[in-house]
Structure 1
């Protein structure tokens, strides 16, 4: 486990202890503010918080010589413990999904419900891994995030780019506020991640797999692969949305997460009785 690390936490709502808290893990190369539209829409009065992953948003980097999402997951676990959370519904989008899977693998007692949004459980293939390392090197060399600025367009679905072009500027602004070092670290950590499909086979709790039907980075087939590995999952395909569903259609994502949270509450209360 990494040395004690406290990541920055954005608390959207504080609720009663009898409802499981909801923890949101953001996409690359953004930070927890990507949840701003969606988080307030989650039904109920439960605690809802989002964590800035290492080196992004307001969280400091881990300073590890070999970037790893395992270290990121350990830092999330330490942070949740520090704020008094023992069990939570963990929802991650894209890179946040990779960290959620690492958290499930390394700290399974913490995960009472699992939401995997626009992500995949498999590792990068050789070409994707090489591209991540190339981009990381470019970020480090330039000291800027210029190498990932085009993602402001690429991560959004065609419908969003056409009907809501202002989202390109919003995503671009979030990207521009990240540190080059943090973005490079994240790229290297994602490139090194293993296939965690086997972890899904072991998880028996309530799960949600959600994907935009215009998602190119983690398409519907990747979502179906995860659903097949889970014991108690629901698949939600969001129409007219790309990779950033929580930004592109916050209502649909909030509805799906609310349903997951309800199932997780029932299972948690049953286990306690």
Structure 2
């Protein structure tokens, strides 16, 4: 079987290491894109499309999922299959915008890494993993690599994103929704909404996982993404 071109999009403050334990290389020609170089969701989506094959499968986690939905608005004919992991299609809420503005101020005041350590880690991963030194270290290292400028770009992008709920009913490629059962950032009900609104979508809930499912439960996520890649003809 020919390998499928596959674009993987990481979440905020994540890089290619978000996906490094997800084993798909025998099934797909995998490309992980940088999602920190523009400060709008449309700009980030266009940067992915510029470097993508003409037709490809697409999977994104969190911010990566938001960008994936924008790609479905801009160029749905190019996407063979879609996977949305731990993703929120809703527009930003005022309290979220206030929090992100505070994080931008902290980042510009020399407190960039404090944001991940003190504010993000407690909600990003399952409570049982908060003392997993290897996992925590990887999350902090990814944040350091994305850096202050990249993070501020990402925050500006999500602060100004549009309401993506209107896109959902137009998606007509095979779609899998995946979410960590204990995700505190994009709770399960958001994924249930995605399943309800995207025609024919399937929903997979990964037990014992928070928001970073690809890092927290890579074996389970690998198995589900492999099944998604192998099953279902293009519609």
TM-score for both structures, normalised by structure 1: 0.80
State the structure with bigger RCO (CA 8 A, min sep 6), 1 or 2: 2
- State the Cα distance separating 1:123 from its structure 2 match: 1.2
Contact 2:121–2:130, Cα closer than 8 Å, also in 1: no
The alignment partner of 2:149 has SS state of helix
- State the Cα distance separating 1:30 from its structure 2 match: 1.3
Q: Are 1:175 and 2:143 counterparts?
A: yes
RMSD of aligned Cα (Å)? 1.8
How far apart, in 1, do the equivalents of 2:4 and 2:86 lie?
A: 23
1:161 corresponds to = 130
2:44 corresponds to = 72
1:48 corresponds to = 30
Contact 1:20–1:46, Cα closer than 8 Å, also in 2: yes
How far apart, in 2, do the equivalents of 1:43 and 1:72 lie?
A: 25
Contact 2:4–2:27, Cα closer than 8 Å, also in 1: no
Where do residues 78-89 of structure 1 align in structure 2 (5 Å cutoff)? 78-80=50-52, 85-89=53-57
Unaligned runs of 5+ in 2: none
- State the Cα distance separating 1:44 from its structure 2 match: 4.2
Match of 1:244 among 185, 207, 212: 212
State the Cα deviation string for residues 44-91 of structure 1 (Å, max 9, x = none): 43212211113xxxxxx34xxxx21100000100011xxxx1111110
Segments of 4+ in structure 1 off by > 4 A? none
Where do residues 1-273 of structure 1 align in structure 2 (5 Å cutoff)? 18-38=2-22, 41-42=23-24, 44-54=26-36, 61-62=37-38, 67-80=39-52, 85-142=53-110, 144-150=112-118, 151-161=120-130, 164-264=132-232, 266-267=233-234
State the Cα deviation string for residues 163-184 of structure 1 (Å, max 9, x = none): x443112211221222201101
Contact 1:136–1:185, Cα closer than 8 Å, also in 2: no
- State the Cα distance separating 1:263 from its structure 2 match: 2.9
Unaligned runs of 5+ in 1: 1-15, 55-60
The alignment partner of 2:186 has SS state of coil
Contact 2:27–2:226, Cα closer than 8 Å, also in 1: no
The alignment partner of 2:81 has SS state of strand
Q: Mean Cα displacement is larger for which, 68-77 or 149-158?
A: 149-158
Contact 1:43–1:255, Cα closer than 8 Å, also in 2: no
- State the Cα distance separating 1:92 from its structure 2 match: 0.4
How far apart, in 2, do the equivalents of 1:43 and 1:233 lie?
A: 24
Provide the aligned length of Structure 1 versus Structure 2.
234
